[in-house]
Structure 1
Amino acid sequence: MGQRAPQRRGARRAALLAATMTASLAVGCTAHHGSPVDDGRGQSRPPAQTPAQSPSAGGTVAPAAGPLLAVKIDNVPAARPQTGLDSADIVYAEQVEGGLSRLMAVFATKLPKSVGPVRSARVSDLELLRQFDEPALAFSGAQHKLLPLIAKAPLRSASPDEVSSAYYRGVDKSAPHNLYLHPNKLLSSAPGAAALTTGFHYGAAPTGGKPTASRTVRYPAARFTFTWSGSKHRWQVSEDGTPTVLTNGKRVAPATVVVQYVKIRKSKYHDVLGNNTPYTETVGSGKADVLRDGRMYSVDWKRQKATDGTEFTTSDGKPMNFAKGQVWVVFAKS
């Protein structure tokens, strides 16, 4: 991460960004579209589809009032416990350098007072975020060769260098694991469920499924375990063998977990130690396991282009309904 901008300039930038981000997308806001992958070329995007399904109500909602917020979250043991993850609508887990993991929390229906620790972006994030309309991306920085692609991408970059007044350093952890974000310094309010243009469907569970008490997903140097709690009706998360508990004492427990099998290949980027940055391909098709209500469903997934959401379908071709509440999507190597 580069040197922080002066506080006065950061405050003006934060005010301008917050005002811009609360503008309605329904009045015909047109975004510049950069590369979905590595090449930096522009591409137009069709308008967001409305109405959309609400993850909390399961029905239809009005068009989104503004952009949602995506935050890159540090996920190594030194960064835990984390803050604000329980307010996220979706949490994506991806493999990064050295076989470790990193999270991207997506907020549309609720903004926490604080979220973090915030860490750096990856090239795969640009493709994943294309499904949303100009999302705000909060991140601590990025590999210097990636920064021009982020600048060209159809998102609203909100790093500490650009919006310094939205960030602060906590005292509970050592740097670089102590950078936190005040989301209300970027967005004055949550845009609502219609901003979640993911293609996800919510509703009653399909028939079938395999009774499942626990499921573990392993990366070379990290692992996630999701254990069903019948009393809480949620999948309790553990990471690297330790229960995932937030700074407010809450156990992280999504209603639905998706283990999505994808291609994970080498990119042209490396970290400061020379480790290659994996590229997670989220456009394409493949298999996935969906965990909900104590059962596992084997499904197919498809995302034809970067501006689309991801369709999950059962063996009979019908949409796979997710349970109401938070969704975790863990990208696993196919």
Structure 2
Amino acid sequence: MREMVRMRRGTWTAALLAVTVTGSLMTGCTTGGGPGDDGRAPDPGRSRSPSPDESGTGRPDTGSVLAVKIDNVPAARPQTGLDAADVVYAEQVEGGLSRLMAVFASRLPKAVGPVRSARESDLELLRQFDDPTLAFSGAQRKLLPLIDGAPLHPQVPGKVTGAWYRGGGKAAPHNLYLRPRQLVGPAPGEDALTTGFRFGAAPAGGTPENSRTVRFPSARFTFTWSAERKRWLVAMDGTPTVTAEGASVAPATVVIQYVKVRQSKYHDFLGNNTPYTETVGSGTARVLRDGRAFDANWSRPGASDGTRFTTTDGGPMNFARGQVWVVFAKA
């Protein structure tokens, strides 16, 4: 029965995405043409056909995490709702720029955004969650069949009435926002975070660390330890990361995960190759917590597995309780 539901949902999703999304990418983003990218808010008074899910409302009936692709170019900042995420993944996109994927389980903010387009790497990254919902503005046309066949609930503007809106103060395409509770209902809770992360006391060792910067070709992230807040203050491209609501984004744990970043078969509108970030496999990492840095190893044997972090002597690499940032750096 579950497979039949997925097949029906897939047919409707493919049709909706084909209408919503254009087939080309601009540098680091998807160009417009549908209700998610043309600069206009979806009309809440216009009836659109929902996907035939179990609830019959167009909403995914999952009880799993909500992952949202978030714009991260300067024109998109300050972002909204980023401080409420349980996990924030930072990945490289076209032109050496960066994009974020915020994963929500413990609580859902009133709004999240600006929302942008999906990438092929997202599908592998999200396999570690059970039937997640992925909210995004669109994707390259050739990628749509992969999204349609992935074990997730794709959600684009117009599929759930009232869940999406265009905010003021920013120009399109940097002004598309999501109301998470109208899209997925209540937060599923921490049990939905099947990342493989362990939380607990810090391991022995480590070295004192006040600040650490991770550089992409055209972007950089800096994490500075605040002894007063017992958190890492985030700065992106040299600017402190504060949400549109005035909240500082300050994770308890930062993971710099060294991975293979290779070329994919996709390109943006200008011909720049879309990087593919490989999150299945193994490698090294640098974990920041409690004002200290720890050398670690990571392992994710298969796409449906969570990522296990261990110390260099094989012990568990526990994270501090609170928000976790994972920055995928090129090995």
TM-score w.r.t. length of structure 2: 0.85
**In the alignment, is residue 3 of structure 1 matched against residue 34 of structure 2?**
yes
Deviation at 1:21, TM superposition (A): 1.9
| 2:300 corresponding residue in structure 1 | 303
- Structure 2 unpaired stretches of 5+: 1-20, 22-32, 36-41
Q: Deviations over 1:200-221 (max 9, x none)?
A: 0000001100100000000000
Deviation at 1:166, TM superposition (A): 1.2
Distance 1:227 1:19 in 2: 39
Per mean C-alpha deviation after superposition, the further-off stretch among 295-304 and 163-172 is: 163-172
Distance 1:12 1:18 in 2: 4
| 1:48 corresponding residue in structure 2 | none
The DSSP-based 3-state class of the residue aligned with 2:34 is coil
Give the letter aligned to residue 223 of structure 1. Answer: R
**In the alignment, is residue 242 of structure 1 matched against residue 239 of structure 2?**
yes
Q: Deviations over 1:30-85 (max 9, x none)?
A: xxxxxxxxxxxxxxxxxxxxxxxxxxxxxxxxxxxx11100000000000000001
| 2:286 corresponding residue in structure 1 | 289
| 2:316 corresponding residue in structure 1 | 319
Distance 1:101 1:150 in 2: 21
Distance 1:94 1:78 in 2: 18
- Counterpart pick for 1:67 among 64, 68, 71: 64
Give the letter aligned to residue 175 of structure 1. Answer: A
**In the alignment, is residue 78 of structure 1 matched against residue 75 of structure 2?**
yes
Q: Deviations over 1:188-237 (max 9, x none)?
A: 10111111000000000011001000000000000000000000000000
| 2:208 corresponding residue in structure 1 | 211
Deviation at 1:327, TM superposition (A): 0.0
TM-score w.r.t. length of structure 1: 0.84
Deviation at 1:161, TM superposition (A): 4.4
**In the alignment, is residue 181 of structure 1 matched against residue 212 of structure 2?**
no
Distance 2:164 2:269 in 1: 24
Number of equivalences = 291
| 2:196 corresponding residue in structure 1 | 199
Distance 1:215 1:148, change over 3 A: same
| 1:54 corresponding residue in structure 2 | none
Distance 2:205 2:164 in 1: 46
* C-alpha RMSD over aligned residues: 1.6
- 1:21–1:186 Cα contact (<8 Å) kept: no
Deviation at 1:162, TM superposition (A): 2.9
- Structure 1 unpaired stretches of 5+: 23-65
Distance 1:196 1:326 in 2: 12
**In the alignment, is residue 278 of structure 1 matched against residue 279 of structure 2?**
no
Give the letter aligned to residue 79 of structure 2. Answer: Q
User: Between the two proteins, what is the percent identity of the paired residues?
Assistant: 68
Distance 1:171 1:318, change over 3 A: same
| 1:49 corresponding residue in structure 2 | none
